Structure 1
Amino acid sequence: MQVSHSKEIANFHIVGINYKKTDAAIRGLYAINPAQYQQLLEHARTVQLDDLFVLSTCNRTEIYGFAAHPGQLMELLCRESNGDSTQLAALAYVKSGEEAIKHLYQVGTGLDSQILGDYEIIGQIRNAAKFSKSAQCLGSFLERLVNSVLQVSKLIKTETGLSKGTVSVAFATVRMLERICPDIKNKKVVLFGIGKIGRNTCKNMIEYLGVKEITLINRTMQVAADFAGQHGLQYAPYENMVSEMQAADVILVASNAPQPTVLAEYFEQSSPKLIIDLSIPFNVETSVGDLPHISLVNVDELSKVQDETLQNRLGEVPKAIAIIEEHMTEFLYWYKMRKHAVVLKAVKDKLHEIHMREILQQKNGNSYKMEDIEMVSSRIIQKMINLMAGKVRKETDKSDQYIAMINDIFETGVNQD
């Protein structure tokens, strides 16, 4: 299927689902892993969609890019994920043009995060865009926009209190443990999965709760061994996972398997346990929560853990929005002037053509210094271009009209669509 679309802002869309309308189980269906992301980008190029990227986290999956209509981006997402196009159409939010641009700023600065001010998302945006660029699917528009969002995120982090205080999924886990398991220091804890979330949660447990009896399990045992050595913890081979979990009081699951690996049958005859599933998609079988002696908590429930830090952050939102608006205006101005620059360059070339033609016509065998004439005429041309560009910059509301008129008058042949 071949598609055609212009790179006008009206054709820039975002299609996504997040924690606001969907639970973790549904979001897991649309999660995109690196292999799927690579395949999605390869297919995108075959249908002439070459300026896009996909953001897939535990709280959202979003695809940003240029297309004739948002449905084309939906098709890409469903083609590579485990989700259904009919379900996605019913659950997804779609934003286009400036609203899509604003949404990326809000996501990148933590204003749209499940935990307000969560700045870890900006690193995920950076990596998603970098991945797309490496596959030659990130155009100049999106690269410039992502760079602007990265800059704004940094400004908001340093100039406001939106991200002050430690609030994240990992920290929310610690706060929940503090509340529902006050004697956690005396409990045997197993952490399955030593990825970023697992490591952060473990560090927070050590720092804030003083927990020392933590056994680490990872599919690659050396990863668990290295982390255990750095923090004075224990580790066990993956093959011992079931027995270690059966002996534990608290189990944290932060693995990244495509389907549940922690099953209800492991705990049918076990002692009471608290199990916290930090994975997306869920890596703990949902029926585990049906066992009367097991308490199961997932990432959606963790988001309900409130902290006074969040209340303080709410007061910083207006400052963050003001910074976003300022830099979004600058980005839109860059976009508009980039279009205008093409026309102005063509006008300049046209004027050079005119002045050279006039010089040749007026020569008529007379003696004169060619350098003098060319110097004067070149200055005149540049002054004319500067006047036009200055007028366009000054009259921003009429700039499109002025550029279109200049384009038409000089018959540059530039298509502005």
Structure 2
Amino acid sequence: MQLLTLGVNHHTAPLAIREQVAFSPEKLVQALHELTQSRRASEVAILSTCNRTELYVNTPSPDDVAQWLADFHHVDRRELAPYLYALPREQAAQHAFRVAAGLDSMVLGETQILGQMKQAAQTAEEAGTLGLLLHKLFQRTFSVAKEVRTSTEIGANSVSMAAAAVRLAERIFPSIKDQACLFIGAGEMIELCITHFAAQHPRRMTVANRTAERARPLAERFGAAVIPLTALPDELPAYDIIITSTASPLPILGKGMLERAIKQRRHRPIFIVDLAVPRDVEAEVADMDDVFLYSVDDLGQVVREGMDNRVAQVAQAEAIIETSVESFVHWMEGRELVPVIRNLRDAGERHRRHEIEKAEKALARGDDPRAVLDAMSHALANKLLHAPTHALNHATRSERDQFVRLISQLYGLHQE
């Protein structure tokens, strides 16, 4: 078992790199199968969010997995290498525990990542790429996250990305109540954002999505209208605030579309928060005078405000994680001994069966049962003790003391 966590996140890589290695939902199962079928890994789960892309794998070759990641996304590995981390064994377990507990998030203590990790594990399980090692890892990961959240106040007063978007909008507009809001997408992040903006009672809310059927239940909950993505070029000028988070591999809002919208608005500003990775808005839009564009990384400063109380809980959370890592590593090491223990028991069983067969033949000849049992027990004892006795007799001077200690410990002997 060679556990490895390999990936990039908001600590190690800028958004421009992260979006190059993000996995779209449509390609996730394909990626899981491709990596395992290539024999580069026997187990794999992929966590891909706006802040991180991470592969949790059971692999004999970490270098091969890194090369596969670059090849899958058609990225030069040399370009990716400075941002990539590869964490083996206990470091991989510690990282998984910290991520699930919200200690590695842009928003310290946020809870959304735990749901995303559970979804990653479920997808891998359904794809058939989650084996014994990763199943145990995620099982322990979710248990540790629960303990951290119930034993500490790491999530207290947490400022979500959605709440941060509202705060930023309030810096641009005197009142959100006077603004029209457009939400592009219908996933979990958009649901969180529309919940926070709805609490401010904006003048108008609309959900734009590729499929109206999926967007309609969400829109109806908040009294919002629904439009298809194809209507964006015509509808865009009507909105002051735009929040977008889709799984599109290409930008949805281009500079040309926004230039036309600003012209129709007579240069009234548009506030845009792009929470998608890869980005939904072309990067060049940030250079426009009347557009206030914020990416997921730009929200970092806002979500770090008011963090003092949560930071004070980190030490306690780290202590819980450290203990859990030791327990998980102990389990891994125990699993690594299974083949040796199985071979040892198989050897003992072969000796036992051989002596039983000899004893049965002796009894069938009419030999004295007591003598047969005595001979069988002596023969079995000699065979089981032959290997350690032979090792002691043929040990070198430097090996002898070590062998004596090990054999005495194994057989519970008292050295005189």
Q: Which moved more, 1:73-82 or 1:277-286?
A: 73-82
Which runs of structure 2 are paired with 1:386-405 in the superposition (5 Å)?
none
Q: CA deviation at 1:56?
A: 1.0
CA distance 1:182–1:369, change in 2 (3 Å): farther
CA distance 1:257–1:341, change in 2 (3 Å): closer
The counterpart of 2:19, out of the listed 4, 28, 47, is: 28
The counterpart of 1:295, out of the listed 292, 295, 311, is: 292
Q: Is the 8 A contact 1:172 1:302 kept in 2?
A: yes
| Matched residues, number | 372
SS at match of 1:288: helix
Which runs of structure 2 are paired with 1:87-236 in the superposition (5 Å)?
87-207=79-199, 209-211=200-202, 213-236=204-227
Quote the sequence identity (%).
29
- Amino acid in the other structure paired with 2:279: F
CA distance 1:352–1:84, change in 2 (3 Å): closer
TM-score scaled to structure 2, two decimals? 0.81
SS at match of 1:106: helix
Q: CA deviation at 1:283?
A: 0.8
SS at match of 1:232: coil
CA distance 1:234–1:71, change in 2 (3 Å): same
TM-score scaled to structure 1, two decimals? 0.81
The counterpart of 1:260, out of the listed 248, 251, 254, is: 251
Q: Is the 8 A contact 1:195 1:255 kept in 2?
A: yes
Q: CA deviation at 1:177?
A: 2.0
Partner Cα distance (1:356, 1:289) in 2 = 78
CA distance 1:22–1:358, change in 2 (3 Å): closer
Partner Cα distance (2:248, 2:120) in 1 = 20
Structure 1 unaligned residues grouped into runs of 5+: 1-6, 385-400, 411-417
Q: CA deviation at 1:345?
A: 4.3
Partner Cα distance (1:282, 1:159) in 2 = 37
Structure 2 unaligned residues grouped into runs of 5+: 386-401, 412-416
Partner Cα distance (1:12, 1:239) in 2 = 45
Partner Cα distance (1:34, 1:306) in 2 = 27
Tell me the alpha carbon deviations over residues 82-105 of structure 1, each in whole angstroms, 9 at most, x when there is no partner.
Answer: 433121112212222322221122
Q: CA deviation at 1:356?
A: 5.1
Q: Which moved more, 1:60-69 or 1:70-79?
A: 60-69
- Amino acid in the other structure paired with 1:329: E
- Amino acid in the other structure paired with 1:122: L
Which runs of structure 2 are paired with 1:205-354 in the superposition (5 Å)?
205-207=197-199, 209-211=200-202, 213-268=204-259, 269=263, 270=265, 271-306=268-303, 309-354=306-351
Q: Is the 8 A contact 1:12 1:97 kept in 2?
A: yes
Match of 2:30 in 1: 39
Tell me the alpha carbon deviations over residues 174-211 of structure 1, each in whole angstroms, 9 at most, x when there is no partner.
Answer: 2222333331111111112121111110001123x233
Partner Cα distance (1:27, 1:352) in 2 = 54
CA distance 1:257–1:358, change in 2 (3 Å): closer
Q: Is the 8 A contact 1:190 1:244 kept in 2?
A: no
Q: Is the 8 A contact 2:178 2:203 kept in 1?
A: no
Q: CA deviation at 1:166?
A: 4.1
Q: CA deviation at 1:212?
A: 5.0
